[in-house]
Chain A
Amino acid sequence: MTAAPRTATRVVLVLCWLALLALAGLWLGRSLHMEEDLRRFLPTPRTPAQVLLVDELGEGPGSRLLLLAISGATPQALAARSQALRAALAEQPAIAVIANGDDGGLDAVPPHLRPYRYLLSATLDTQPLDAAYLHAELQQRLQDLGSPAADLVEPLLPSDPTLETLRLAEAWQPADAPQQRHGVWFDRAGERALLMVQTHAAGFDGAAQGGAISTIEAAFAAGVQPADTARLEISGPGAFAVAIRARTEAEMRWIGTADTIGLLLLLALAYRRWSTPLLGALPLASGGLAGLGAVALLFDGVHGITVAFGFTLIGVAQDYPIHFFSHLRPGMAPRASVRALWPTLATGVAATCIAYATFLLSGVEGLQQLAVLTMVGLAVAAGSTRWLLPSLVTPARHDPAHSPRLARLWRMAERLPRPRAALAVVALLAAAVAAFSPGPFWENDLSRLTPVPTADLERDARLRAELGAPDVRYLVTVAGADADAALQASERLLPVLQRLRRDGVLDGFDLAARYLPAAATQRARQARLPDDVSLRHALQAALADTPFRDDVFAPFLDDVAAARALPPLGPDDLAGTPLELAVGGLLLRAPDQATALVSLSGLHDPQALEAALAPHGAQLLDLKQASESLVAQWRSRLLGALALAALLLAGVVWLALRARQRVLRVLVPMALATVLIVAVLRACGVELNLFHLVSLILAAGLGLDYALFFEHAGDDRDAQLRTLHAVIVCSLTTLLVFSLLALSSIPVLRAIGSTVAMGVAFNFVLALLVARAPAVERAA
C-alpha cells in the first residue's frame, strides 16, 4: 500500500469534502420541501372519518381558530383595545376573519345580498307579510323614529319597513356569542374583552401560524397607549403548535450544544488527536445529506417527523468511523486497517439496509421516505468511511491494543461468566413483564408526545366556552350529491340539534345552512312572498292609522317584487363576501360529492348526539379517534415490515457467517436487548408509541454492529482489545447523546433518549457476554 498522503494534501482534501457538504446543504435548503402537514406522514385514509381527517386536518373550522383575550384594564379601555385590534387585523392578509362582536350592524349584509333578505331570513317561515304584521312593524318603526337613534333607522325604512336586513345580520351572529359590553364581546365576569381570529393557514402549519401570531401581537403592541396596562392572551391549536415548537427548539439547542462539547471531548480523549472529532463527523454528515437529497429527488416533500425518525436511525453511522479509528495502529497503513474491517462493517450495513428496504413495501409514504433516507444515508456513511476517510487520517501513533488500562478492562471482561441458561431465564422473565404489565401497550395519541401545559389547556377550554367556539375534536357531517343536497340534508338536522341544545346535550352548533339555506327552502320562502297587488293592499291597510305618509314605501314594494323573481342564492354567489368563509368552512365541495359540516361547541354527551342524528343520515366524527386509528394503522404496517426485516436480517447474517453458533452469538444479544428494553419501559408504565418503536430499531442496529465486531475479533487478544476500545467509544458517545435526550422535558425526546440509552447499555453488556469468543493469549 502507498504511504499516507502528506499533511497539506490531507487538509486540502478535508476542505474539499467540507465544501461539498456545504454545497449539498445549500442545495437541500432550497429544494427540499419540509412539511408539517400530518397528511404527508400518515397512511392512506380508509374510513370516512379518516378521509375527512386527512382532507380537513388542520383546515377544519375549529383548528384554524385563535382565541384572544384582552385583560388588565378598565372595561372601556379593553373595549377600545379590542376595537383597535380588530381594525388593524382586518387589513392583514394572514387573517381570514377577525370578530370581536362589533359586526352585528348592517355592514354584515353586503348590499348585493340585501334583495335576498326575505329568502335568507327565517321570518317568512312563520310569519306572512300581511296587513296585521306590517302594521305591528310600522308601530315599532314609529317608536324607533321617536328614539335618539332615529337617524340610524330612517334611511332604511322606505325599502325595509320590517328591518329584515338587521334581523338577518343578527341571525348571522355566532350561534351563542358571549355577552356584549361597550359594543364588544366580554367574558361573563366582564374582565376580559374576547376576540376570535380565523387564520388562512392551516392549524398544523407551525410556521404560518407563528407568522399569524406575531402579526396579532405586533398589531396589539402598536395600539399601546401611555400607561396602558392591558395584556393580550392568545390560545388555540395554532398558538399551541407555536409554543411547543419554540420549547422543542430551545431544548434541542441546549441538548445539541452539550452533545457537541461532550462528543468532541470524548473523541479527543479516546484518540488523542484534535482532528479525530472533525473527521469522525464527516461520514455521518455526508450520509445524512445524501439521504435527504435522495428523498428530495424521489418524493415531493418530506414530513418533519420522517426526518426526525431518519436522523435517529442513521445515528448508527456515527459508529463506523469509530470502529475504523480504533483499529488504526502504527506500522499499518490506514487503508489496510479499513480493508480488514470492511467485511464486518459491510455485513452490518448490508443487513440493516436490507431490513429497512422492507419499509418500501409498507404502502405508507412516510415509511418509504424513511427507508430511502436511512438506506442511502447508511450506505454513503459506510462508503465514505471505507474509501474516503483512510486518505485523510495520519498513521496512528498508538495501538489501543497496547494500552495498559484497556488491558486491565479486558482481563476483567475475560473473567466474566458466559451465561446461557441464565440468559434464557432473563429473556423469559422480560417477555412476561412486557406482555403482562398492566396498562395499554400502545399510545396512539401523537399529540400526547408534544403536550400542551395543563394551565394553557384550561385557559383554552375557558375561552372556548366563553366564546362558544367550535370543538376541535367532534364534528357532525352529512353528505349530499352536490352542495345544495348537502345543505338540504343539514337543514333537516336543525330541529334535532335545537332539541338537543335545549336538553343540554350540547351548548351550541353552527352549520352552513344557517347562512345559506338550501335552494328549496329559499324557493318556499319566495312562494310565501305576496304578489304585488296583495302587498299593496296589505300595506295600504297597515298604513291607515299611522302617521307614515302613504308614498314612502314604494322601494319596499319594488324589493319584494324583485325578491319574488330572484334565482336562489348559491355558494358561488357568496364569493368576496364575509359569508364566503363561514359557508366555505362548513360546506366541503368535491366534484362528485359535497359534505355539510356541523361544528359543535360544548358537547356534553357524544353518544346521545350520535344516536339522535344517525336516523337523519348524519355522522358524528371523532377526529381524535380517527387520527389515532391512522397512527395504529401506521404502526401495524411498520410492525409487519419489521417482522419481514428481522427475517431478512437473520438471513444476511447467516450468509456472511455461515455457522449456526456464530450467527446465534451475533443475533441473541440484540434480540434479548430489545425484549429487555420493552420490559423495562412497560414495567415503568410507559405506553409505547411510534418513537419508541423507531428507537428500538436503532438500538437493535447498534447491537448488531457491537456483536458483529466482537464476533469478528475472533479469539485474537489484540483484535479483541481494539474492538473493545471501539465498542466502548461507540457506546459512550451514543450513550452521551441519548441520555441527554432522555433528560428532556418533552415526551417525544424523552421516549427516543431513554429507549436508545437503555439499548446501548444492554447491547454493550450482552455483546460482551455473548458475542465475544474466549480469547487465546498469544505471544505478542
Chain B
Amino acid sequence: MLRQPLRLQGQYRRQADGSLVRQVDSPYRETTTLTAGDAVIERDGRAPRRIALAKVPELAAVQAGFGALLAGDRELLQRTYTVQVQGSRTSWTLQLVPRAPRLAAALERIDLHGRGAELRCVESHPAKGHAQRTLMAGAAAAAAGVEDPSALATLCRDASAAQ
C-alpha cells in the first residue's frame, strides 16, 4: 500500500496517573493516551477522539503488554498473555502470546527484546500482515540513518548482537 514501510519517531511516556502516552513526533504529530479503559487520540487540527480499548483489541494489547510491563503489573500481563522468556540476562526475549481468542484473532504475538535492564525493541506480529517494530533506547539510537528494513529487523531482534 505504501511505497516503503512507515517509519515513525517519538516517545513512550508513563504519566503519574498510570496512563501510558504514545507520542509520535515525525513524520506527523499524534498523541495517544492509554488509560485503563480508553484511548484518547489527539491529532493536529482535529478534535481528540476517545475510543474504548475493548473495541480496538490492538490498542488494548499495547496497554496490557507494554504498559503493564512498564507499570510492573505482572498480574495484568500474565492474565492477558502466556509469557515465555528466552535467552540470557544480557540478551533476552520475552514472548507474549494473547490468551483471549478475540485478541488472538488480531494479534499473533508480541516479542520484547532487551539487554540487561534495558528494553530495546518491541516487535508486534499481527495475525495478518507485516510485523511492527518499535525500537527503543539504545536500539533507537543505533537505528538512526538505517533505512534497510531487514537491517532494522536485525537491529530489533539481535539487540545484543548489534553491540
Contact = CB atoms under 8 A, between A and B. Distances in A.
Nearest to B29: A143
Given A139-B28, A142-B28, A149 B1 contact: no
Contact of A148 (B28, B43, B58): B58
A690 interface: no
Contacts of A277: none
Contact of B129 (A75, A154, A181): A154
A105 interface: yes
Interface string B27-70: 11010100001100101001000001111101101100000000
Nearest to A180: B52
Contact of A547 (B2, B24, B54, B124): B2
A104 B56 CA distance: 12
B3 interface: yes
A547 B2 CA distance: 5
B17 to A, nearest CB: 17
Nearest to B34: A148
A182 interface: yes
B38 to A, nearest CB: 8
Contacts of A102: 54-55
Interface of B is mostly: mixed
A542 to B, nearest CB: 15
B37 A147 contact: no
A152 B58 contact: yes
A548 interface: yes
A85 to B, nearest CB: 15
A552 B3 CA distance: 10
B3 A146 contact: no
A745 interface: no
Interface residues of B, number: 32
A598 B62 CA distance: 43
B62 A547 contact: no
B4 interface: yes
Contact of B3 (A76, A79, A143, A548): A548
Interface string A134-161: 0000011011011111111010011000
Contacts of A140: 43, 46
- Residue among A143, A145, A552 with the highest chain B CB neighbour number at 10 A: A143
A704 to B, nearest CB: 71
- Residue among A147, A150, A552 with the highest chain B CB neighbour number at 10 A: A147
B80 to A, nearest CB: 12
A146 B24 contact: yes
Nearest to B41: A147
Given A142-B28, A143-B28, A147-B32, A75 B56 contact: no
Interface in A93-147: 102, 104-105, 139-140, 142-143, 145-147
Contacts of B27: 142
Contacts of B61: 148
A75 B2 contact: no
A768 to B, nearest CB: 77
Nearest to A101: B52
B8 interface: yes
Contacts of B161: none
Given A151-B106, A151-B129, A181 B56 contact: no
Contacts of A143: 24, 28, 30, 43
B146 interface: no
A148 B124 contact: yes
A184 B1 contact: no
A188 interface: no
Given A140-B43, A182-B37, A547 B3 contact: yes
B39 to A, nearest CB: 9
Contacts of B128: 151
Contacts of B62: 148
A124 B98 CA distance: 41
A139 to B, nearest CB: 7
A6 interface: no
Interface string A303-324: 0000000000000000000000
Nearest to A151: B126
B132 interface: yes
A183 interface: yes
Interface string A259-302: 00000000000000000000000000000000000000000000
A140 B3 CA distance: 17
B6 interface: yes
A549 interface: yes
Contact of A142 (B6, B55, B58, B132): B6
Contacts of B41: 147
- Residue among A75, A151, A184, A549 with the highest chain B CB neighbour number at 10 A: A151
A180 B56 CA distance: 13
A75 B8 CA distance: 34
Contact of A549 (B3, B30, B55): B3
B6 A75 contact: no
A143 B53 CA distance: 18
Interface in A69-92: 75-76, 79
A678 to B, nearest CB: 62
A105 B126 CA distance: 20
Contacts of A549: 1-3
Contact of A149 (B6, B30, B52, B59): B59
A158 B1 CA distance: 8
Contacts of B58: 148-152
Nearest to A547: B2
Nearest to B129: A151
A183 B54 contact: yes
A146 B30 contact: yes
A434 B163 CA distance: 104
A142 B124 CA distance: 19
* Ranked 8 nearest A-B pairs via Cβ: A183-B54, A183-B52, A183-B55, A182-B54, A148-B58, A151-B126, A547-B2, A149-B58
15 contacts: A102-B55, A142-B28, A143-B30, A146-B24, A147-B30, A147-B59, A148-B61, A150-B129, A151-B58, A151-B128, A157-B1, A180-B55, A547-B3, A548-B1, A548-B2
Interface of B: 1-4, 6, 8, 24, 27-28, 30, 32, 37-38, 41, 43, 46, 52-56, 58-59, 61-62, 106, 124, 126-129, 132
Interface of A: 75-76, 79, 102, 104-105, 139-140, 142-143, 145-152, 154, 157-158, 180-184, 547-549, 552
Given A142-B6, A146-B8, A547-B6, 10 more contacts: A142-B27, A143-B24, A147-B59, A148-B62, A151-B128, A154-B129, A180-B55, A181-B37, A182-B52, A549-B2
